Amino acid sequence: MAKPLDNRFFRDLVASLRNGVMAITRDGSAAVVNDEAYRILGIAPSPDHAGGHFAEILRDHPDLIRLFAGAFDAGHLPNRAELRLEPSGRVIGYTLSLVRDDRGRVHGAALIFADLTLLEQAEERDRLRDRLAALGEMAAMIAHEVKNPLAGIEVMAGLLRRQITDRPEAHAMLGDIINEAKMANAIVLEVLEFVRPLRLEVDRTSIARVVDDAILLAERKVERRATALDVTLPADLPAIDGDRHQLVQVVTNLLLNALEALGDRGTIRVRADVHDVDDGGLPRSVALVVADDGPGIPAEIRDRIFNPFFTTKPKGSGLGLAIVRKIVDAHAGRIEVASAPGHGTTFTVTLPVGAPGHAGL
């Protein structure tokens, strides 16, 4: 006769699962919380959690509290559902089940879930690729139809301005026309750059050199003046497989955003760190942080800042951060933003040390 398995085997089984598991008893006491659940939820393990009330353990996750609170009264429990956790932004796929004894009596509930964040990001990249394909066709048509008239306006205004040097007011107005035509042409070119397929020229790339080049380029475009710049990069930071030119553009755009947000005051901090395997599942990677202590991003627009053509600036195409995200995605990395009004903004770009997973968008 086979020897029955003891409780330790089942505890080890739950602890070894690659999914998060949290189970509670009928009175709301936590019976099981495995390590993967702690990791996904961003909760520090504590001996006090054993037998503690689930609402206290999940105090930073009100959506999960509501799930457990209604588990024993719901007529139908969610199966293979998805939920975005706040404030981390992680996406989980989960199943909520009742725990019954051998007589069918309910004496607990169990939540089994997995981190779908990387899958969600991959699906978003696919959706973005589809949108860019349609946008590329439209942009090519716009470039053909708009660029030639803009060039004609600029040339004719320039000729006319040279002929009326004795009329200062008209001379100045024609100068404004030329400048506006140049600005419109620059926007058309930026749109074309955004929708054009990105082909990476991958080589061993020093993040420190990328940052140095980006600082020089950003300071040529926006005068730093009294804004402090604090750069701290480890001496042993590994080189990555990436396109240096494209990565310089990423860091330059982030620095320009920070400079414009600070408005000639405050501090921009640039940091980097290495992760052997980070909590998002990327292999050995470098996390580059660009942070400022400016006014921050309002919560209601934070999810839209990477959308093409979205901008809060009076002038601009709204493509800067969209291009940043496109380049980071092409390097099989990810970009995250943390911000609160009055407490600054932090962008974190995480790039794998190895070669990018795909050639571009």
d(CA 77, CA 42): 25
The three-state secondary structure class of 226 is: coil
- Report residue 30 as tokens: 């936590």
Quick one: pLDDT at residue 112? 93
Instruction: Tell whether the model's pLDDT for residue 361 goes beyond 60.
Output: no
Would you call 331 exposed, middle or buried from its count of C-beta atoms within 10 A (0-12, 13-18, 19+)? buried
- Which ranges in 43-93 belong to alpha helices (H)? 54-57, 62-69
Quick one: pLDDT at residue 271? 96
Instruction: Tell whether the model's pLDDT for residue 3 goes beyond 70.
Output: no
Amino acid at the residue 124: E
User: Could you tell me the pTM of the whole model?
Assistant: 0.59
Mean pLDDT (whole number) for 242-255: 95
- Alpha carbons within 13 angstroms on the beta-carbon side of residue 50 total 2
Quick one: pLDDT at residue 358? 45
Beta strands in 137-266 (DSSP E): 203-205, 228-232, 240-242
The CATH number given to 203-352 is: 3.30.565.10
Number of H helices, E strands in the chain: 9, 12
Instruction: Tell whether the model's pLDDT for residue 190 goes beyond 80.
Output: no
Residue with the larger pLDDT of the pair 314 and 141: 141
CATH number for domain 7-115, candidates 2.60.120.10, 3.30.9.100, 3.55.50.30, 3.30.450.20: 3.30.450.20
Cβ within 8 Å of residue 109, ≥6 positions away: 23, 24, 68, 71, 72, 96, 97, 98, 99
**DSSP code, position 51:** T
Query: Distance between terminal CA atoms of the chain?
Result: 60
d(CA 151, CA 345): 39
Q: Model confidence at 138, in pLDDT bands (50, 70, 90)?
A: confident
Quick one: pLDDT at residue 4? 58
Beta strands in the chain (DSSP E): 20-25, 30-33, 81-84, 91-100, 106-115, 203-205, 228-232, 240-242, 267-275, 285-292, 334-339, 345-352
Instruction: Tell whether the model's pLDDT for residue 359 goes beyond 50.
Output: no
CB 283 within 8 A of CB 354: yes
d(CA 65, CA 71): 10
Kindly report the CA angle at 236 between 230 and 240, in degrees rounded to 5?
Answer: 95
